[in-house]
Structure 1
Amino acid sequence: MDLEAVRTFVAAADAGRFQDAAAELSVTQQAVSKRVATLEKLLGVRLFTRTPRGAKLTIDGQAFLPHARELLRAEERAVASVRPGRRALRVDVIGRRLAPATLLRDFHRAQPEIQLDVVTLFDAEAAIDAIRSGTIDAAFRAVALPGRQLPDDIEAARVHDEPIQLVTGPRHELATARTVMPAALAGHRIWMPGLVPGTEWAAYYDALAAAFALTIEVTGPDFGTEPLLDTIADSRSLATLVGEQTSFAWPAEHGLRRIAVHNPTPVYPHSLLWHRDNAHPALTALRAHLRSGRFHHSAPETWTPTWAERS
Structure 2
Amino acid sequence: MDLDGVATFVAATDAGRFQEAAVELGVTQQAVSKRVAALERALGVRLFTRTARGARLTIDGQAFLPHARELLRVAERAAASVRAGRRPLRVDVLSSRGAGSGLMRAFHRAHPQADLDVLTLFEMDAAVAALRSGAIDATFRAVGAPGRPLPEDIAYVRVLDEPLQVLTGPAHALAGARSVTLPQLAGHRIWMPGIVAGTEWAAYYDAMVGEFGLTIEATGPNFGSDALLDTIADTPALATFMGEHTRLVWPADHGLRRIPVTGPTPVYPHCLLWHRDNGHPALAALRTHLATTAPPPAAPGTWTPPWTPPAAGV
Q: Report what 1:282 is aligned to.
A: 282
* Distance (whole Å) between structure 1 residues aligned to residue 298 and residue 50 of structure 2: 82
Q: Report what 1:252 is aligned to.
A: 252
Q: Report what 2:108 is aligned to.
A: 108
Secondary structure in structure 2 of the residue aligned to 1:136 = coil
Shift of 1:248: 1.5
* Greater shift in the superposed pair: 100-109 or 125-134: 125-134
* Distance (whole Å) between structure 2 residues aligned to residue 272 and residue 244 of structure 1: 18
Shift of 1:296: 4.3
* Distance (whole Å) between structure 2 residues aligned to residue 301 and residue 31 of structure 1: 71
2:215 aligned with 1:215 = yes
* Greater shift in the superposed pair: 10-19 or 84-93: 84-93
Q: Report what 1:294 is aligned to.
A: 294
Query: Percent of aligned positions with the same letter in both sequences?
Result: 68
* Distance (whole Å) between structure 1 residues aligned to residue 89 and residue 57 of structure 2: 45
Q: Report what 2:226 is aligned to.
A: 226
Secondary structure in structure 2 of the residue aligned to 1:274 = strand
TM-score normalised by length of structure 2: 0.92
Secondary structure in structure 1 of the residue aligned to 2:149 = coil
Secondary structure in structure 2 of the residue aligned to 1:186 = helix
CA contact (8 A) 2:22 2:29 kept: yes
Shift of 1:300: 5.4
Shift of 1:146: 2.0
Q: Report what 2:272 is aligned to.
A: 272
Q: Decide whether aligned partners of structure 1 residues 211 and 298 sit closer, same or farther in structure 2, where only a CA change above 3 A counts.
A: closer
Shift of 1:99: 0.3
Q: Report what 1:36 is aligned to.
A: 36
CA contact (8 A) 2:162 2:267 kept: yes
Q: Decide whether aligned partners of structure 1 residues 297 and 281 sit closer, same or farther in structure 2, where only a CA change above 3 A counts.
A: closer
Secondary structure in structure 2 of the residue aligned to 1:165 = strand
Q: Decide whether aligned partners of structure 1 residues 75 and 297 sit closer, same or farther in structure 2, where only a CA change above 3 A counts.
A: closer
* Distance (whole Å) between structure 1 residues aligned to residue 235 and residue 109 of structure 2: 39
Q: Report what 1:53 is aligned to.
A: 53
* Distance (whole Å) between structure 1 residues aligned to residue 260 and residue 105 of structure 2: 24
Q: Decide whether aligned partners of structure 1 residues 298 and 13 sit closer, same or farther in structure 2, where only a CA change above 3 A counts.
A: closer
Matches within 5 A, 1:195-214: 195-214=195-214
**Residue identity opposite 1:163 in structure 2:** P
* Distance (whole Å) between structure 2 residues aligned to residue 143 and residue 94 of structure 1: 14
Q: Report what 1:6 is aligned to.
A: 6
Q: Report what 1:240 is aligned to.
A: 240
RMSD over aligned CA atoms reads 2.0
* Greater shift in the superposed pair: 84-93 or 154-163: 84-93
Residues 145-182 of structure 1: CA deviation (Å, up to 9, x unaligned): 12443322222211100000111222222222221212
**Residue identity opposite 1:43 in structure 2:** L
CA contact (8 A) 1:265 1:299 kept: no
Q: Report what 1:18 is aligned to.
A: 18
CA contact (8 A) 1:123 1:200 kept: no
* Greater shift in the superposed pair: 12-21 or 236-245: 12-21
CA contact (8 A) 1:194 1:222 kept: yes
* Distance (whole Å) between structure 2 residues aligned to residue 241 and residue 7 of structure 1: 62
Structure 2: tracts of 5 or more residues without a match: none
Matches within 5 A, 1:158-177: 158-177=158-177
* Distance (whole Å) between structure 2 residues aligned to residue 80 and residue 298 of structure 1: 42
Q: Decide whether aligned partners of structure 1 residues 60 and 223 sit closer, same or farther in structure 2, where only a CA change above 3 A counts.
A: farther
